[in-house]
Structure 1
Amino acid sequence: MQEERLMVNTQLFHSSKGALLPQAKATNHQGAPAYALSPRHHLAQLAATGCLSQTFYANAEAQLDQVLALAQQVDPAFVAKTAVYARSAGHMKDMPALLAATLAVRDVALLNDVFGRVIDSGKMLRNFVQIVRSGAVGRKSLGSRPKKLVQHWLLNASEKQLLAASVGNAPSLADVVKMVHPKPVEAWRAAWFAWLLGKPFVEAELPPTTRAFERFKRGMALGVASSMDVPQVPFQMLTALELSTAQWAQIARAGSWQMVRQNLNTFARHGVFGVQGMAEAIAAKLRDPQAVAKARVLPYQLMSAFVATGDAVPAIVRDALQDAMEAALANVPAFDGRVVVCPDVSGSMSSPVTGHRGSATSSVRCIDVAALVAAAVLRKNPSARVMPFEQAVVKLALNPRDSVMTNAKALASIGGGGTNCSAPLAWLNWEKAEADVVILVSDNESWVDARRHGATQTMREWAELKQRCPQAKLVCIDIQPHGTTQAAERADILNVGGFSDAVFTLVAQFAQGQTGADHWVGEIDKVSLNVQ
């Protein structure tokens, strides 16, 4: 009797490159296959970008719900460390305040340990109070310990910090003071709180800057303030007054680096650049490398200022912003070997990088930041290959000697089309090209190359490239992390979220083998909770 042979369906189970790659079991916002990040990694990426506003794919409420859910899935100590990291390294505002507020419910002892490192300004204090009062984290009252922490901030802040905190609403600083009832010991602080709340106060007991502000307002009312020096208060406290051009020039001279950067158009409207020497003075301030470093300016903020400046802002000032950009990107490393950087220029990248925030919406789009990263890498790595992509690779010649702003503008001008994250890898494979470091800058919402089963096409193309270049490393920078990626995390693949200049250092460390693929979580784990 002839033995019966059972044959498998070769069409269904045929050999395929990528067959041993991890299956993509999650889906992105386009419904295409993707890999899910772990809760710790996802929270870390969201903390790095700090987006709590409507983005191209998610509204603000969905972002908030996502962060709160992730914060519940990880241990409170990691939440505390993430809050510190997001504030100290990422320089974010909403996200660290939100994470600190969750600790007011979960672990007030940990909140006590990190409060001063996260809530380090009046703006952060008001953010924290507003988030707790909103009920978003599960309570609407501060509670005894958080209340004491807020009181401690108010009773130890300097006059300068208090004046800065008094600018803004929802809640105002006066609301916060009424809520927690601080009991000042110093006469000047008691007088200042009375002044803030509109209660009777003794002017002679006010601290010097606030006292000068009161005198200046009286001088304005009497018409004699034109000869008086402008008090060193936040300029928002002065905008309701009829200031002269010379007084606006005083404000510009005395303003902090960030304040000047943010108000170039305001100065132009008030004729500041018409005052002899002012354009040169402001340009000198903006391009000062030490001032740029001290301001902890993010590269995209400089791009925002450059994009937003109107025709009334002199060319010398606009050029100074380009010089400041070069200074801000001084830590962009030169990578060893063959570098390929791939900015996503698809249609979804046209949304504001910090989300839709009404009148406060950033003029900088995701595509601008992707282009900025690519241009910065090219600036420090002249032999790097830049491969912008949408549905396919877009050919564009860039001059590495051009400024970062110039090349970023050229890249950002070619946006549109669907998203295909595997396109640049497929092109490299078609060419049989070799690479040592490939940097992909995208929102990871790839759908053009979607497959029904198995690994994503990005992973398949990367596996093929690795056969030619076994030492190659892939870095996926996600501009607006939504919890999925097209390349599964492993020893040769790094997923990083955010757009701060710290990203460049981390990418360099990874490329040189100094840190592992889990570095983002690892960096947060390094944060000490014992330092006050």
Structure 2
Amino acid sequence: MRFNSFFSRKSAPTVNHEGAAAFTLTPQIELYAAVATAALSDQFYEKADTRLQRLRELVARNEPTFVAQLAVYARESLNLRSVPLVLCVELARLHRGDNLVSRLVARVVQRPDEITELLAFYAQANGRVGTKILNRLSKQLQKGLALSFNRFDGYQLAKYDRSGAVRLRDALFLVHPNPKDAAQQALFDQLVRGELPTPYTWETELSAAGQQAYADPTERAAAVARTWEALIASGKLGYMALLRNLRNILEANVSAEAMTQVCATLADRTAVARSKQLPFRFLAAFREVKALSGGPVASVLAALEDAIAHSAANLRGFGAETRVVVACDVSGSMQQPISPRSKVLLYDVSLVLGMLLQSRCQNVVAGMFGSKWKRISLARGPVLRNVEEFYRREGEVGYSTNGHLVVQDLRQRREVVDKVMIFTDVQLWNSNGDGGTIAQEWAAYRRSVAPNARLYLFDLAGHGATPLQVRPEMGVALIAGWSDKIFDVLTALDNGGSALIEIAKVTL
């Protein structure tokens, strides 16, 4: 399929959440954007229940095969966990007649706790409460979950056998997986009896160290430090656990040898690739560590800079011959946590992705916009330090969403660029009252200054409308999500493809 065929030729006019003129998206593009940015929590413009209801409606408007491909793409390429399970449940409600759903579930469920999470959402989506929570489960969901059970060993089952609306034991009784052999049957029996061996994890080890009785608090602190050192030396502390516990490790005053190993692991290219961390998680760790003082802190910060650079190792960037503008939205609606428990804002995601791209471009103008658009000159390379510099200065541009000023500035300077990259929640509006829009500015810029320029909207919120028509002949493209994988879509666009073509490559 060609790029053009994915977009309606005449997008219907609408308004965005700020009441500004906007354009609708095709059901495929809207579902892709909603899924790629779904935290399933309250956002500035959209409550979690509203987003969930819109996802359900969009699933019904799309072909089942596309929904299944998108679920796999979200799980395996974007490294999202919850929203692919939502797509599985919604597809099971609507689709019958083949084994598409069972194959999808077996593909998407990659951890035992995703079995129970899927069943809990299934109960919620179908209004099941009390003793009826697991009644009348879709046969295709049941078959897919049974296949998933066969994939997990005793360590995985024990690690993720947690309390909740649905326990793994309940799921086992519900889906009746056929054990592969006698050893797996024994595991299932242990799960039913609650006799799976306690797994060796960093949580259990630290808990054991902290629960011992010590006469002196310094003895307890020393025991915790020794436990961290043992975990680090064992290689069994996963990359995500390491990233999230850097502050705890530093405050435990582990040995210099242990800290050297921590930094080596953080900065290891292979470990970073295998961890599949979303780029903003490196920023969250960077901020936690930066708040501390002491000898190892500088080394850890440097290791985190190396790590985020490795996380986008496949980002090709652009050479000196390609003129690029990177514009980051720092408006009020971007000052929203991506989830209730996160300190990371949509604004942070905008800056991290923008600075990753800036670090790979040789001829680049970077800046931020709110009420004003401001260019900021930064060294190419230190992604996290550049993010922090933007963060320090965001109040300099105000908190409206005047994204049209980015293009207006180029037009007034008569500055020819090849690519304009805007990282935003796409709820652009004009607070100046002069009627100017990004659609008008873009058309004028291409007509009078740079007819071959291309505009890329990096949608970080997925609210379902855009401030100008997403059409190739107008030089406008939409990319959605928080993952470094958005840059794979950018490469595909430059080669005549699209996000939907990348999704269509998924084999089921």
Which TM-score bucket, shorter chain as reference? 0.7 to 0.9
Partners of 2:451 and 2:365 in 1: CA distance: 19
1:117-516 correspondence runs (5 A): 117-136=107-126, 141=135, 142-167=137-162, 169-182=164-177, 184=179, 186-198=181-193, 210=197, 213=198, 233-243=200-210, 244-245=223-224, 246-253=226-233, 254-269=236-251, 271=252, 273-309=253-289, 310-311=291-292, 314-315=296-297, 316-335=299-318, 336-352=321-337, 354-355=338-339, 357=340, 361-401=341-381, 403-415=382-394, 416-448=398-430, 457-467=437-447, 468-491=449-472, 492-510=475-493, 512=494, 514-516=495-497
1:36-185 correspondence runs (5 A): 36-107=24-95, 109-136=99-126, 141=135, 142-167=137-162, 169-182=164-177, 184=179
Residue 274 of structure 1 aligns to a residue whose secondary structure is coil
Partners of 1:447 and 1:154 in 2: CA distance: 49
- For 1:10-37, what per-residue CA distance to the aligned partner results, in whole angstroms no more than 9, with x for missing partners? xxxxxxxxxxx97872111112111111
- In structure 2, relative to structure 1, the CA distance for the partners of 1:182 and 1:47 (3 Å cut) is same
Residue 439 of structure 1 aligns to a residue whose secondary structure is strand
Query: Once structures 1 and 2 are overlaid, which stretch shifts more, 121-130 or 70-79?
Result: 121-130
Rg: which structure is higher? 1
Query: Once structures 1 and 2 are overlaid, which stretch shifts more, 313-322 or 462-471?
Result: 313-322
Q: How many residues align?
A: 467
- For 1:407-431, what per-residue CA distance to the aligned partner results, in whole angstroms no more than 9, with x for missing partners? 1111123334111120110111111
Give 1:237 deviation, angstroms: 3.8
- For 1:148-186, what per-residue CA distance to the aligned partner results, in whole angstroms no more than 9, with x for missing partners? 332232234222332333246343323323443546464
Partners of 1:237 and 1:363 in 2: CA distance: 26
Q: Is the 8 A contact 1:339 1:435 kept in 2?
A: yes
Q: Structure 2: give runs of 5+ residues left out of the alignment.
A: 1-8, 211-222
Partners of 1:182 and 1:259 in 2: CA distance: 31
Partners of 1:369 and 1:421 in 2: CA distance: 17
- For 1:93-136, what per-residue CA distance to the aligned partner results, in whole angstroms no more than 9, with x for missing partners? 11101001112222252112222221122132222111112135
Q: Structure 1: give runs of 5+ residues left out of the alignment.
A: 1-20, 214-231
Residue 398 of structure 1 aligns to a residue whose secondary structure is coil
Q: Is the 8 A contact 1:265 1:312 kept in 2?
A: no
- In structure 2, relative to structure 1, the CA distance for the partners of 1:392 and 1:452 (3 Å cut) is closer
Give 1:42 deviation, angstroms: 0.7
Residue 209 of structure 2 aligns to a residue whose secondary structure is coil
Residue 260 of structure 2 aligns to a residue whose secondary structure is helix
Partners of 2:168 and 2:205 in 1: CA distance: 18
- In structure 2, relative to structure 1, the CA distance for the partners of 1:161 and 1:312 (3 Å cut) is farther
Q: Is the 8 A contact 2:331 2:399 kept in 1?
A: yes
Q: Is the 8 A contact 1:439 1:477 kept in 2?
A: yes
Partners of 1:304 and 1:290 in 2: CA distance: 21
Partners of 1:465 and 1:341 in 2: CA distance: 17
Partners of 2:67 and 2:414 in 1: CA distance: 45
- In structure 2, relative to structure 1, the CA distance for the partners of 1:140 and 1:25 (3 Å cut) is farther
- Return the TM-score normalized by structure 1: 0.81
Partners of 1:248 and 1:192 in 2: CA distance: 30
Partners of 1:110 and 1:414 in 2: CA distance: 50
Match of 1:228 in 2: none
- For 1:206-262, what per-residue CA distance to the aligned partner results, in whole angstroms no more than 9, with x for missing partners? 7xxx3xx4xxxxxxxxxxxxxxxxxx6233344542353323322233212122112
Partners of 2:68 and 2:144 in 1: CA distance: 16
Partners of 1:333 and 1:451 in 2: CA distance: 40
Partners of 1:129 and 1:417 in 2: CA distance: 41
- In structure 2, relative to structure 1, the CA distance for the partners of 1:61 and 1:127 (3 Å cut) is same
- CA RMSD in angstroms comes to 2.6
Match of 1:225 in 2: none
Letter in structure 1 aligned against 2:408 = A
Give 1:305 deviation, angstroms: 1.7
- In structure 2, relative to structure 1, the CA distance for the partners of 1:445 and 1:414 (3 Å cut) is farther
Residue 410 of structure 1 aligns to a residue whose secondary structure is helix
Partners of 1:167 and 1:275 in 2: CA distance: 33
Partners of 1:436 and 1:449 in 2: CA distance: 28
Partners of 2:243 and 2:163 in 1: CA distance: 19
Give 1:299 deviation, angstroms: 1.1
Match of 2:502 in 1: 523
- For 1:430-469, what per-residue CA distance to the aligned partner results, in whole angstroms no more than 9, with x for missing partners? 111111111111111122259899xx71111011111211
Query: Once structures 1 and 2 are overlaid, which stretch shifts more, 465-474 or 501-510?
Result: 501-510
Query: Once structures 1 and 2 are overlaid, which stretch shifts more, 149-158 or 285-294?
Result: 149-158
Give 1:282 deviation, angstroms: 0.8
Give 1:188 deviation, angstroms: 4.0
- In structure 2, relative to structure 1, the CA distance for the partners of 1:22 and 1:372 (3 Å cut) is same
1:19-30 correspondence runs (5 A): 25-30=13-18
Residue 241 of structure 1 aligns to a residue whose secondary structure is helix
- Return the TM-score normalized by structure 2: 0.85
